[in-house]
Amino acid sequence: MKINQLDLFSGIGGFHLGFERSGFEVNSYFSEVDPHAIAVYKNQFKNSTYVGSVTDVRGEDLPAIDLITFGSPCQDFSLAGKRQGMAGQRSSLILEAIRLIKEKRPRVFIWENVKGTFSSNSGEDFAAILKEFTDIGGYRLEWQLLNTSWFLPQNRERIYLVGYSSEVRGDWTGVFPIGEDSSTTASGEVRQVGTRLDSGGNQPYQQDRVYDSEGIVPALNQGKRDLILKVKSATKSGYEEAVIGDSVNLAQPNSKTRRGRVGKQKAQTLETSCNQAVVGEFQIRRLTPIETERLQGFPDNHT
């Protein structure tokens, strides 16, 4: 099925790639301001059309759009940020996406954002966003908090909200709920193919799930478990223990209040600051670009 996609705050094209992997032939018009992300998008999706900043995009300049996707800036909603919510300059850009939904009336729109959106300003921000979506008129809404760790070894909780036009005929059973045991089987996608057992037939210390797509396994690294590193953290003991295959967050190394530095056999939420490392055999090293691509579900060398 061919679809025209308006990909707002597009990044390096995660939504575009996901729909291609799901069997759609995607003709995308994408909006982004980061020059590196724009370059990657143009290189990977050569038939795409760049349409500038979201504030400059006008519906009248675009053809009919079937799908609008947007992971609008989330810093003002983030649990780690200043929690300015909808009053924040960056997070208020979601209103530009809502404007374009009104102008183009796509069959479906999908919004992705951080878990903190639920609790920002005691839940009032999320309620305000739902009201804005509802006031568009003619769309049914559903949403769920999902975690990347259900499918890949990265702990990344995100809200996904889907709006689909009530004018589209046919029975709709909904997208959600998606559970932790859900698996993807489309060609080229990461999917669970079994479990790992040690030589004695017992489950190893890593998570027990194994995925295909060029041999990705749940643990970030493999090796002996007898090496234990103590990582400074604001816990009762003053440290967290890390073994081979664990991730270590290197941000604010001298902080006396930071905790949760160690990810047990999975990465913590990846950010562009690249502050994560992995415990290898007798060393701590930063994640490689290919490792971070895999942790995000992208093909090797996508970037």
Which residue numbers are catalytic?
74
How far is it, in rounded angstroms, from Cα 54 to Cα 121? 25
Contact partners, residue 1, CB within 8 Å, separation at least 6: 23, 24, 25
Buried b (16+ CB within 10 A) or exposed e, 59-86: eeebeebbbbbbbbbbbbbbeebebbbb
- Which residues sit opposite 267 in a β-bridge? 154
How far is it, in rounded angstroms, from Cα 19 to Cα 183? 16
Nearest to 160, CA basis, from 66, 272, 270, 71: 71
Kind plus residue range of the DSSP H or E element containing 14 = helix 14-21
Residue type at 302 in one-letter notation: H
How far is C-alpha 154 from the chain's CA centre? 10
Integer Rg of the chain from CA:
21
How far is it, in rounded angstroms, from Cα 288 to Cα 268? 15
